Amino acid sequence: MDRAFDLYEQALRTTNVQKSKGLLEEALTLDPTNLDIRLALLDCEELTEAAYIASLRELVSLGESMLGKSRFKAKPPHFWLDVDTRPYMTVRYQLAEVLFENELFLEASKEYSAMLKLNETDNQGCRYPLALCYIALGRPNDLQNLFDKYPADLTQNCVFAYAYALNRLLCGDHYGFVLGMQAARGQNPYVEKFLTGKRSFPEHLPDGYAPGSLQEAEVFGEMIILALAQYPELWTILVDYLTRAMEPRKKK
């Protein structure tokens, strides 16, 4: 197992795809049930989005069978605390993320929601893309339940802050939208620059972020845009609001 892990680590550090693939294949022969290795190997393949999603589903099913039904019954809602479950959760998060990127918001919401039930402390941050799924799907009640479950995030995460404001607009509460947008802009002043096109997204997203940081805006900005693509009119209202709000005040 140590040799398999060493090969896996080498593969992750290798920029040559074919060499990385060879290392992973060798590692997999030594540890054939390792989901981390299988996921990394999958990422070396040239697959269509549909084939990639199908392959991820197979890995999720494999992870569930390896963990066993009893593990799922015994561990929730603190699934992540058992380190043996983390490769499975990583693969399932990848599946949810790809579903989201392909605008399959209903399917993505089911994956994120299921992971939250397994791990309420949400070490992976499933609640943030789930909030945007609910925006895209027009499910204000589910979104409010999510806010109620994680109330601190309304002032500590840009997705929750923007989702709250946009939900008010979806519900026809324009005044609530304006108040929510004021709070969202205060929570992270960088998001609006990405949403209005005044700043471009980096080629590679950062690995981490702090609340209110540029990195947070980079991680979540495109996801907000993707969710709002379902509502062209809402998108127009949001951009118009931000454009006006960002204009410098004229001296009297």
DSSP string, 214-234: HHHHHHHHHHHHHHHTT-HHH
Residues 130 and 117 in one domain: no
Question: Is the same domain home to 139 and 88?
Answer: no
CA dist., res. 65 & res. 74, Å (int): 15
| pLDDT string in tens for the chain (252-residue length) | 689 989 999 999 999 999 999 999 999 999 999 999 999 999 999 999 999 999 999 999 999 999 999 988 888 888 999 899 999 999 999 999 999 999 999 999 999 999 999 999 999 999 999 999 999 999 999 999 999 999 999 999 999 999 999 999 999 999 999 999 999 999 999 999 999 999 999 999 999 999 999 999 999 999 999 999 989 999 999 999 999 999 886 665
Q: What's the total number of domains in the chain?
A: 3
Mark whether 93 and 187 lie in a shared domain. no
Q: What is the DSSP letter of 57?
A: H
Ramachandran angles phi, psi of 63, nearest 5°: -60, -40
Given 68, 88, 121, the domain boundary residue is 121
Provide the residue range defining the domain that includes 95.
Answer: 47-121
Q: Please give the helix or strand (H or E) that residue 108 lies within, else none.
A: helix 105-118
Residues 225 and 188 in one domain: yes
Q: Are residues 105 and 192 in the same domain?
A: no
Rounded Cα gap, residues 95 and 56, in angstroms? 6
d(CA 239, CA 169): 13
Structure tokens of 230? 């379902």
**Based on the domain organization, do 151 and 233 belong to the same domain?**
yes
What is the Cα–Cα distance from 21 to 156, expressed in whole angstroms?
40
Same domain, residue pair 138 and 236: yes
Residues 135, 112 share a domain: no
Residues 88 and 199 in one domain: no
What pLDDT does 74 receive?
Answer: 84
Residue listed under structure tokens 């500590």: 156
Tokens of 207: 């690995």
